[in-house]
Amino acid sequence: MTKYTRYRTGSASSYGILEGQTIREIAGDLFGSHSETGATYRLADVTLLHPCQPTKILCVGLNYKSHLGGRPQPSQPEIFYKPLSALQDPGGPIAIPRDATDLHYEGELVVVMGKQAKNVTVDEARDAIFGVTCGNDVSERNWQHGAGKDLQWWRAKGSDTFAPFGPAIVTGIDYSNLLLTTRLNGEVVQRQYTSDLIFDCPAIVSWISGWVTLMPGDVVYTGTPGSTRKLAKGDVVQVEIQDIGVLENPVA
């Protein structure tokens, strides 16, 4: 198991390998050939950034049975986009947008691609996945399906800061049965194993690749379990996934 981070020291950003409270800097291609530079940093002395720079963000809706709420189970992964401008770093604030009235968290396992994937089988998709991390698919329910519903989820799912992810991309683990726990101000509000996904990570990647080419570094939010709750200014959301870490973001 290896944990890869992206971080800032001063005005420079770098990739590194996180081990305990120490980051070992690497140079080269995170998804290809890279090596350690010999430089090390204390985790407390750097600012963690979202752990890669995707060319696109895709997400899956209605992908846990516990989240369906009586709705029929989809026959295929239901996919939507978030814009890159929605990205947010670990620790960065989730901003409540103008006119928002019903903002919710959605704790999720996030897939990070390591290879280009186009028309791949499930087995090929598994090989194309680099690793996994934690994500929060922040959603404005009124704009999504309330009285103020838009034709598209462009702002319900895509407003600025609505896609926090991190703190590290973890490789070399079995991500098919990890415990996902979301906490709101310390209270557990979501708790489910990733084995309860309706469509698992390789199946999602294979499906998407039939129409959209996935590139190294692209990320796929795989869906949220259970129910969600309204967020307010001053709240703190933590998405913790077993063997990965904790993604924490305040609401501003």
Residues 75 and 196 in one domain: yes
Residues 19 and 140 in one domain: no
**What is the chain's mean pLDDT, rounded?**
97
Neighbours of 146 (CB within 10 A): 12
Residues 245 and 139 in one domain: yes
Residues 2 and 70 in one domain: no
pLDDT in tens, 122-172: 999 999 999 999 999 999 999 999 999 999 999 999 999 999 999 999 999
Full DSSP string of 131-188: EEEEEE--EEHHHHHSTT--SS-TTTTTSTT-EEEEEEEEESS-GGG-EEEEEETTEE
Residues 190 and 223 in one domain: yes
pLDDT in tens, 230-244: 999 999 999 999 999
Residues 38 and 98 in one domain: no
pLDDT in tens, 29-82: 999 999 999 999 999 999 999 999 999 999 999 999 887 777 888 899 999 999
Q: CATH number for the domain including 40? A: 2.30.30.370
Residues 134 and 186 in one domain: yes
Residues 56 and 36 in one domain: no
Residues 10 and 58 in one domain: no
Q: CATH number for the domain including 168? A: 3.90.850.10
**Enclosing domain of residue 155:** 50-250
**How many structural domains comprise the chain?**
2
Beta partners for residue 9, in sequence order: 12
Quote the DSSP letter at residue 199.
Answer: S
